[in-house]
């Protein structure tokens, strides 16, 4: 598994080196082409899953053998169409769209020029079909399903957070239905993607909203700013929880919605659902980063500190250095614009717009190479004579270091030092296990790394183990 995938780093021609969409221009933007590798993975999973069939009975916990679910029954239970029917549906859309708009969209799909003159790769112009794990059965809801155009029967599109692999497909021209997300995500969607504000519905955290007869609440996900767990409560009392991307923590176990009501179905961020993924708590990594910085400055006071960043998230890595040293944070104008939109005064009050005003700089993660860093340092000579960079990764595999941060060996070349630090905004394997054992859901639907049958089987075997009472 590539680090880039795990770490929300979906390098794309649609994104700049900072992981943000290119600023919209005044000319009409073509719709995103849906030809990214991640789409292929999701689509092929969907087809493969349908073809191969999966017995989910192992996920039923106590009910086990008595209620052995068959694949067909599960589809019926959830109200899904048979795969053949879905596969043949090139595009589906919200039925309430005016006839003219419907007709226009048919034309867009029928003509490859609707994708900026380029043919979508290898799919015979077919729009991809929204996979089942992005739908909430028994509702007209989808979660993080924007790359499929309008989804048949969907009248409410939820967005868990502003990372490309979740919002991909959203663009200025979005008109398939209302988008529900947290206020911060809503601001980013409007600011970075120029989505028509009339389609964007911000929902404050911890406030229940009635949508299509379902009570929906956004919960803090402990991932990137604005990221939410989405809690659905149906009229019959059943609750579903979609984690989006999250890092499970003790605090979540005290949330009234999760302690007082049983969650029957859990859509789970399984990014690190493998026992090999062990990493320390975020706080430990932040202390380590501050300690290394202080030691380096003691040795060489003229050291420029760089933190690599991609897209949104991991802001605490540079904020903790800023607070510990009492220095401002330098970031370029486009990143400052994003950071200032967070409504996070501790962060926005500490930004500066001139690189010479602070020894702490945020750079695109792609610049964290010795040669690039040395060139960067030269532009600040003689103010600084050495450079210390941190690359916050999701996980860095090393049998020897494990959770022992002090064993991390930096890459050093001359006056350039680079530390990879395991600062993760996804749950570790043990955190996942603890969260699942706390919730005790009847069913778990993994949402990450589902493209491979062997991985899916391993995950299901984990879930069975965890849910054994």
- Cα–Cα distance, 220 to 185 (Å, whole number): 12
Report, in Å, the least distance between residue 78 CB and Zn ion.
Answer: 26
* Nearer residue to Zn ion within complex by CB, 221 or 388: 221
Report, in Å, the least distance between residue 224 CB and Zn ion.
Answer: 6
Tokens of 192: 């970075």
x/- letters, 116..155, toward Zn ion (CB under 5 A): ----------------------------------------
Q: Does 42 bind Zn ion (CB under 5 A)?
A: no
* Nearer residue to Zn ion within complex by CB, 163 or 176: 163
* Nearer residue to Zn ion within complex by CB, 128 or 163: 163
Q: Which stretch binds Zn ion (CB under 5 A): 168-176, 214-222, 243-251, 461-469?
A: 243-251
Report, in Å, the least distance between residue 245 CB and Zn ion.
Answer: 4
CB-CB neighbours of 204 under 10 Å: 10
Q: Which stretch binds Zn ion (CB under 5 A): 5-13, 48-56, 381-389, 408-416?
A: 5-13
* Nearer residue to Zn ion within complex by CB, 43 or 425: 425
* Nearer residue to Zn ion within complex by CB, 154 or 228: 228
Q: Which stretch binds Zn ion (CB under 5 A): 242-250, 334-342, 385-393, 407-415?
A: 242-250
x/- letters, 178..217, toward Zn ion (CB under 5 A): ----------------------------------------
Q: Does 245 bind Zn ion (CB under 5 A)?
A: yes
Going by C-beta distance under 8 Å and a sequence separation of 6 or more, which residues neighbour residue 296? 303, 305, 386, 388, 417
Binding to Zn ion (CB under 5 A) within 158-177 occurs at 163
Report, in Å, the least distance between residue 164 CB and Zn ion.
Answer: 9
**Which residues are paired to 136 by β-bridges?**
141
* Nearer residue to Zn ion within complex by CB, 410 or 451: 451
- Contact at 8 Å (CB) between 300 and 443? no
- By CB under 5 A, how many residues form the interface with Zn ion? 3
Q: Of how many residues is the chain composed? A: 469
| Residue in 7, 8, 86, 434 binding Zn ion, rule: CB under 5 A | 8
Q: Which of 222, 209, 271, 267 is nearest to 240 (CA)?
A: 267
- Contact at 8 Å (CB) between 189 and 167? yes
Going by C-beta distance under 8 Å and a sequence separation of 6 or more, which residues neighbour residue 468? none
- Cα–Cα distance, 273 to 445 (Å, whole number): 12
Distances (CA, A) of 394 to 42, 202, 253, 285: 22, 29, 23, 11
Cβ neighbourhood burial of 345 (10 Å; 0-12, 13-18, 19+): exposed
Q: Which stretch binds Zn ion (CB under 5 A): 82-90, 150-158, 241-249, 260-268?
A: 241-249
* Nearer residue to Zn ion within complex by CB, 148 or 162: 162
- Cα–Cα distance, 149 to 8 (Å, whole number): 22
- Cα–Cα distance, 224 to 277 (Å, whole number): 20
CB-CB neighbours of 277 under 10 Å: 22
Binding to Zn ion (CB under 5 A) within 295-354 occurs at none
Residues that bind Zn ion (CB under 5 A): 8, 163, 245
């Amino acid at each position: 598994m590539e680090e880039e995938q795990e770490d929300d780093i979906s390098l794309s021609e649609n994104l700049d080196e900072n992981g943000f969409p290119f600023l919209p221009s005044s000319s009409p933007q073509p719709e995103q082409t849906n030809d990214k590798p991640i789409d292929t993975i999701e689509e092929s999973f969907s087809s493969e899953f349908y073809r191969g069939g999966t017995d989910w009975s192992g996920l039923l916990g106590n009910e086990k053998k008595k209620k052995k679910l068959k694949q067909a029954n599960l589809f019926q239970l959830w109200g899904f169409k048979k795969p053949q029917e879905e596969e043949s549906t090139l595009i589906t859309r919200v039925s309430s769209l005016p006839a003219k708009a419907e007709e226009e969209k048919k034309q867009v799909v029928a003509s490859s020029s609707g994708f900026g003159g380029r043919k979508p790769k290898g799919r015979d112009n077919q729009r991809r079909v929204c996979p089942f794990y992005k739908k909430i059965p028994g509702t007209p809801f989808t979660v993080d399903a924007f790359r499929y155009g309008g989804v048949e029967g969907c009248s409410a599109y939820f967005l868990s957070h502003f990372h490309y692999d979740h919002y991909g497909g959203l663009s200025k021209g979005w008109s398939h239905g209302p988008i529900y997300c947290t206020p911060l995500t809503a601001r980013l969607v409007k600011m970075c993607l120029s989505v028509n504000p009339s389609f964007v519905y911000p929902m404050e955290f911890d406030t229940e909203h009635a949508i299509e007869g379902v009570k929906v609440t956004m919960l803090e996900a402990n991932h990137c700013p604005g990221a939410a767990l989405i809690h659905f409560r149906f009229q019959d009392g059943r609750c579903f929880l979609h984690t989006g991307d999250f890092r499970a923590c003790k605090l979540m176990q005290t949330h009234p919605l999760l302690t007082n009501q049983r969650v029957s179905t859990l859509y789970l961020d399984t990014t690190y659902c493998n026992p090999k993924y062990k990493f320390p708590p975020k706080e430990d990594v932040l202390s380590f980063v501050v300690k290394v910085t202080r030691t380096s400055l003691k040795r060489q006071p003229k050291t420029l500190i760089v933190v690599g960043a991609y897209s949104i998230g991991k802001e605490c890595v540079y904020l903790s250095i800023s607070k510990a040293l009492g220095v401002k944070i330098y970031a370029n104008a486009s990143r400052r614009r994003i950071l200032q939109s967070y409504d996070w005064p501790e962060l926005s009050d500490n930004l500066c717009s001139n690189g010479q005003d602070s020894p702490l700089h945020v750079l695109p993660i792609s610049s964290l190479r010795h040669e690039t860093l040395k060139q960067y340092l030269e532009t600040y000579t003689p103010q600084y004579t050495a450079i210390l960079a941190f690359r916050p990764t999701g996980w860095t595999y090393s049998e020897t270091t494990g959770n022992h941060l002090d064993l991390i060996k930096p890459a050093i070349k001359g006056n350039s030092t680079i530390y990879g630090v395991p600062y993760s905004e996804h749950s570790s394997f043990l955190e996942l296990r603890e969260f699942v054992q706390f919730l005790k859901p009847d069913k778990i639907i993994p949402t990450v790394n589902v493209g491979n049958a062997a991985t899916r089987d391993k995950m299901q075997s984990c879930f069975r183990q965890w849910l054994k009472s």
